[in-house]
């Protein structure tokens, strides 16, 4: 009797042990599978921008995606949202600060309204005599100090991407500044661009980039300013009869990320993404002029728009009218900063 009870108790103990062991093993397997699944889940970077995929910025964003995903061996997935499909240019900076997107490449004019007025130096008419002067600024100490100012806004700047120098478009011929007197011209929201258009006698209208085509088509505005690549890819040349090659100002972008997201990444991932951004930046700034030249040729071939190249005398008149905007904005942007740009030109032997 005692022997039977002992055997029964032994069997029950063994059964409980087997159940406990099995449960532990299953739990361990489950946890392991969960950890593997977590490790295999890629870090998603939502990269939103407002221009077409076939612009300099759109192509550079695609290049960054390809390099980043390959370099991180699938640990990072970059999702691109071009043409304001996720956020319009008026909304995207706030979305980045809130963490709704991780990466943007807004135009440099966007940072003035954010409270970093120094970025408006890029909006000044005729501040850059050529691309070489521009790159001495964006790739040197001046550019680095400007990007550092973004940190206080919860933003980390990774680099500057070119688009190009802007031309004027309108439904009237524009041989000189006086031809734009009283015309309604679309601008980005920028105190400098507002002052620029007013110096021409025009009426500035700030509006989102995604709204410009319809505004031109409906006659809400009479004209605008853009690098040729934006003019062509947004089909603005279909609703603008005249373009004048003023090259009066520069349009470029700062590639930025949410600061908290960026510094929350594993250090090895962040290092690879930095390398990918450096490669994409070099690519962006190499193709920008080519893309704009090709876009201008395409506009010419379309036969929809008359393109006018000012004479030296006419160009001098554009410069004479617009150059005083630089001095009028010294108190806002900083006289020393403006002078530092001029020093870069002087270093190249330019006046």
* Confidence check: pLDDT of 308 > 90: yes
* CATH for the 41-347 domain, from 3.30.70.3280, 3.90.1150.10, 3.40.190.170, 2.60.120.380: 3.40.190.170
Would you give the DSSP letter of residue 42?
Answer: P
Q: Is the confidence at residue 20, as pLDDT, over 60? A: no
| Statement: residue 254 has pLDDT above 50 | yes
pLDDT at 350: 86
The structural domains of the chain, with segments of one domain joined by +, span 41-347
Q: Answer whether residue 35 shows pLDDT above 70.
A: no
Please, what is the Cα angle at 146 between 140 and 150, to 5 degrees? 140
**Predicted local confidence at residue 288, as pLDDT:** 96
- Which residue blocks in 212-266 are alpha helix, DSSP H? 212-218, 228-233, 259-263
| Cα dihedral sign, 156-157-163-168 | positive
- Average confidence (pLDDT) over 192-199: 98
In angstroms, what CA-CA distances link 300 with 199, 238, 243, 288, 316? 29, 11, 10, 19, 25
């Amino acid at each position: 009797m005692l022997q039977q009870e002992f055997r029964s108790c032994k069997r029950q103990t063994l059964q409980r042990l087997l159940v406990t062991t099995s449960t532990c093993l299953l739990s361990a397997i489950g946890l392991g599978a969960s950890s593997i699944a977590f490790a295999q889940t890629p870090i998603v970077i939502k990269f939103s921008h407002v221009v077409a995929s076939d612009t300099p910025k759109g192509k550079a964003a695609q290049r960054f995606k390809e390099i980043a995903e390959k370099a991180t061996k699938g640990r990072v997935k970059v999702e691109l949202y071009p043409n304001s499909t996720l956020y319009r240019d008026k909304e995207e900076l706030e979305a980045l600060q809130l963490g709704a997107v991780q990466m943007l490449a807004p135009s440099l004019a966007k940072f003035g309204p954010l409270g970093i007025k120094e970025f408006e130096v890029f909006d000044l008419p005729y501040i850059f005599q050529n691309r070489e002067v521009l790159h001495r600024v964006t790739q040197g100490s001046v550019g680095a100090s400007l990007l550092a100012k973004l940190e206080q806004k919860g933003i980390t700047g990774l680099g500057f991407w070119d688009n190009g120098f802007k031309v004027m478009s309108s439904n009237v011929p524009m041989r000189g500044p006086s031809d734009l007197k009283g015309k309604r011209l679309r601008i980005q929201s920028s105190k400098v661009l507002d002052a620029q258009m007013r110096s021409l006698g025009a009426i500035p209208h700030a509006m989102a980039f995604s709204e410009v085509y319809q505004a031109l088509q409906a006659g809400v505005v009479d004209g605008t300013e853009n690098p040729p690549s934006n003019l062509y890819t947004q089909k603005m040349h279909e609703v603008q009869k005249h373009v004048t090659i003023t090259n009066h100002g520069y349009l470029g972008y700062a590639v930025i990320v949410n600061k908290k997201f960026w510094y929350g990444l594993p250090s090895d991932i962040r290092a690879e993404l930095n390398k990918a951004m450096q490669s994409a930046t070099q690519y962006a700034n190499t193709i920008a002029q080519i893309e704009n030249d090709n876009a201008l040729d395409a506009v010419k071939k379309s036969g929809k728009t008359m393109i006018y190249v000012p004479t030296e005398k006419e160009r001098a008149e554009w410069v004479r009218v617009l150059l005083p905007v630089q001095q009028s904005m010294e108190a806002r942007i900083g006289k020393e900063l403006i002078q530092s740009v001029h020093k870069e030109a002087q270093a190249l032997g330019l006046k």
